[in-house]
Amino acid sequence: MVLLSLLLTALLAADPAVPTTVGPAGGKLDALLSRRTLSGVSVSIAVLDVETGRLIHARDADRPMVPASNMKLMTTAAALALLGPDHRFRTRFLATEGPDAEGRVAGDLIVVGAGDPTLRGDVLETVGIDAPAAHMADMLVEAGLRAVDGDLVVDDGIFDDAPLHADWPDEDIGRDYASPICGLSLEANCLTLTFDGRGGSPSVRIEDRTKGYTVQSELTRSRDRSRFSVWATRPDEHGVLVVRGEVGAAVVERELRVPVREGAMLFGRSLRAELERRGVALKGQVVRRPGAAASLSEAAEVAVLTTPLSTAVLLANKESDNSIADHLYKLIGDQHGGAGSFAGGSAALNHFLTEWVGTDTGGLVLRDGSGLSSRNRLTARAVAETLAAMARAEHHTADLFLRTLPVAGMDGSLHERLTEAAYRGTVRAKTGWISGASSLSGYVHTRSGRTLAFSLLFNRVPGGKNHVMKSTQDDICRYLVDAL
């Protein structure tokens, strides 16, 4: 049996760390990892037999590495283990007293967030909800609500007041993949802008049915009819987005998603707009008041919207959704880490790895749940041992976790990788990429019938070379399928 361990001796000659290896040296894997295109790249590898837990292959398996989106594997595994696979988010609508005979709530209507990141039309349309705010307004009307004498209070106190991570690069802030992580979230806390180049000058409009946001357009006409180069600022304290860039005359209905600053306010403004469309009169304002529900001595539950944790885990892994992963990170922090914050998530994840998985957390740095932070550090051993532990969990948890992973040659981020008939479907794994780091970790089903948990973490990757990393990772997977 050839080693997946000593294969980087020449490759890592420039690395001051002494490599640690397991298994026999030589053979095909040496050739794979000695490719000239991998010169200077740091590689950490661990492969475990899931049934026995035995380490089969290792190469610098205990070296802390930047995991990129492989961090999501740890976050989702911890969420399933700590919250339970049947956990449901419960977004509650409370009042001191329920609607009276005329449908009137005498005081405030309070919306209490549960950290649910799946209240999005693109997610819930599969269950017939293409506009979550409209659906919630319908629920309240069906519950008898016709008027609110007080404010519409949004209580996002389950999470802290730091919606963005300090580690996230400045160039990512303002992009939809780095949207705020809030206790009350709607449509991934983003507004959708639609651009059109036809007519006398380029136009832009907000697609969302909400109030409190306006667009200040500074668009110019491009001489190139097909050019679409635009950007937008996040809404300021007055809800104004400034849009700049060039749009050609042939551009039709192009979209851009822009994060807001406060998810709870987007939630409240959108809900208010939908309630007013249904004739519900709200005398007060939309007010953000974290902890409002806890201050009530008595409360009537007017309505509640529940969604399953399983949907969030599926999207975090299958679609590599940063926002969902970081919502889950803060949620496990609230439930098991002492606070609904990134620091709380780190504490909860450390507890999970130590007590539930039983892996060594020395050298690990746990900063966020998505892997967007370049300061995260995981070891290939810790990732592989987590995967093995999840595979040995009770059936419902293990099966759910497995089904959330992209399948080689079939779906998710692996749909165009390992597409040959001999390998399609043999690998279920999570990809990862940020500047300088490329990763692939998951499970391999071998021709001999074994299930292996593996982690391939590549760091110091030159810019523009991720395709080379992917090629080598895929070849390692082919080797594992065929040889073991």
The dihedral of CA 75, 78, 83, 84: what is its sign? positive
Residue appearing with tokens 């999840």: 390
> Which of 127, 131, 119 has its CA nearest to residue 89?
119
Question: pLDDT, tens digit, for every residue of 63-75?
Answer: 999 999 999 999 9
Query: Per-residue pLDDT tens for 177-226?
Result: 999 999 999 999 999 999 999 988 999 999 999 999 999 999 999 999 99
In this structure, are residues 456 and 383 in contact, taking their beta carbons and an 8 Å threshold?
A: no
Q: Distance of CA 114 to CAs 76, 158, 334, 381, Å?
A: 17, 7, 10, 33
The pLDDT of residue 298: 86
219 touches 246 (CB < 8 A)? yes
Asked if 220 and 238 sit in the same domain, the reply is yes
The CATH number for 42's domain is: 3.40.710.10
Query: Does 315 lie in the same domain as 301?
Result: no
Rounded to a whole number of angstroms, the CA Rg of the chain reads: 25
Catalytic, out of 5, 42, 44, 69: 69
Average pLDDT of span 445-466: 95
- Looking at the fold, whether 291 and 316 belong to one and the same domain comes out as no
Residue given tokens 């040889």 in the structure block: 483
Answer yes or no: are the C-beta atoms of 42 and 7 closer than 8 Å. Answer: no
pLDDT (tens digit per residue) in 237-290 = 999 999 999 999 999 999 999 999 999 999 999 999 999 999 999 999 999 999
How many domains does one find in the chain?
A: 2
> Residue 5 domain-assigned?
no
Predicted pLDDT of residue 249: 96
Q: Are residues 45 and 103 in the same domain?
A: no
The predicted pLDDT at position 2 comes to 29
As beta bridge partners, residue 47 has: 57, 454
Confidence at residue 444, expressed as pLDDT on a 0 to 100 scale:
97
Give me the amino acid identity at 18.
Answer: V
Which residues are registered as beta bridge partners of 308? 88
The total of other beta-carbon atoms located within 10 Å of residue 159's CB is 28
Residue 211: exposure state from Cβ atoms within 10 A (0-12, 13-18, ≥19): middle
In a domain, 447, yes or no: yes
As a dihedral over the C-alpha atoms of residue 22, residue 26, residue 31, residue 35, rounded to 10 degrees, the angle is 60
pLDDT value of residue 27: 63
User: How many Å separate Cα 41 from the centre of its chain?
Assistant: 27
Give the residue among 326, 331, 305 at the shortest CA–CA distance from 316: 326
Q: Are residues 295 and 318 in the same domain?
A: no
Q: Looking at the structure, do residues 443 and 455 belong to the same domain, yes or no?
A: yes
Decide if 9 is inside a domain: no
320 flagged as catalytic = yes
Domain of residue 130, CATH code: 3.50.80.20
Mean pLDDT of 322-345: 98
Maximum Cα interatomic distance, the chain, rounded to a whole number of Å: 81
Is 4 a member of any domain?
no
Those residues whose C-beta lies under 8 Å from the C-beta of residue 385, and which sit 6 or more positions away, are 46, 48, 53, 357, 358, 359, 453
- Per the DSSP assignment, residues forming a β-bridge with 22 are 58
CA 141 to centroid of chain Cα atoms: 32
Return the pLDDT at 31.
77
**Residue 12: per-residue pLDDT:** 27
Indicate which residue of 179, 185, 310, 320 is catalytic: 320
Range of the domain at 453: 21-85+310-483
Which pLDDT belongs to residue 37?
Answer: 84
Residue with tokens 């399609």: 424
Q: Is the pLDDT of residue 93 over 60?
A: yes
d(CA 378, CA 364): 5
Tokens of 250: 């042939």
Lowest mean pLDDT among 3-17, 159-173, 314-328: 3-17
Same domain, 120 and 28: no
Question: Is the domain of 137 the same as that of 191?
Answer: yes
In the three-class reduction of DSSP (H, G, I as helix; E, B as strand; rest coil), residue 289 is classed as: coil
Q: For residue 113, how many other CB atoms are within 10 A of its CB?
A: 27
H/E run at residue 273: helix 263-277
Whole-number pLDDT of residue 15: 36
Cα dihedral 76/77/82/85 (nearest 10): 80
Alpha-carbon dihedral sign for residues 481, 482, 483, 484: positive
Q: Pick from 250, 277, 308: which residue ends a domain?
A: 308
3 state DSSP class of 216:
strand
Convert the pLDDT of each residue in 360-409 to its tens digit.
999 999 999 999 999 999 999 999 999 999 999 999 999 999 999 999 99
Look at residue 454 and tell me if it is in a domain: yes
Judge whether residue 116 has pLDDT over 80. Answer: yes
State whether residue 392 is helix, strand or coil. coil
> Across all residues in the chain, what is the average pLDDT?
92
Answer whether residue 184 is part of any domain: yes
Domain membership of residue 119 (yes or no) is: yes
Listed in sequence order, the residues at least 6 apart from 427 whose beta carbon sits closer than 8 Å to its beta carbon are: 407, 408, 414, 418, 442, 443, 444, 445, 477, 481
Q: Which of 137, 138, 119 is nearest to 188 (CA)?
A: 119
Amino acid (one-letter) located at 114: A
Half-sphere exposure of 352 (CA within 13 A, CB side): 32
Whether 412 and 470 map to the same domain: the answer is yes
Spatial separation of the C-alpha atoms in residues 327 and 75, rounded to whole Å: 10
Q: How far apart are CA 211 and CA 41, in angstroms?
A: 50
Q: What are phi and psi of 302, to 5 degrees?
A: -75, -40
217 catalytic residue (yes or no) = no
Residue 1: the pLDDT is 30
- Given 5, 42, 44, 72, which residue is catalytic? 72
With 70 as the cut, is the pLDDT of residue 16 above it?
no
Residue of 305 and 15 predicted with greater confidence: 305
| Order of strands, sheet of 281-282, starting from the edge strand that comes earlier in the sequence | 104-105, 147-148, 281-282
Claim to verify: residue 81 and residue 193 sit in the same structural domain: no
Average pLDDT over residues 232-241: 94
Average pLDDT over residues 466-472: 94
pLDDT per residue as tens digits for the range 427-444: 999 999 999 999 999 999
**Position 146 in a domain:** yes
pLDDT of residue 153: 98
Report how far residue 161's alpha carbon sits from residue 291's, in angstroms, rounded to the nearest whole number: 12
Quick one: 377 exposed, middle or buried, by C-beta within 10 A (0-12, 13-18, 19+)? Answer: buried
| pTM as predicted | 0.92
Boundary of a domain, candidates 280, 308, 336: 308
Shared domain check, 290 and 147: yes
Judge whether 370 counts as a catalytic residue.
Answer: no
Mean pLDDT of 322-347: 98
Domain match, 275 and 415 both: no
- Examine the fold and report which residue of 308, 334, 366 is the final residue of a domain before the chain moves on: 308
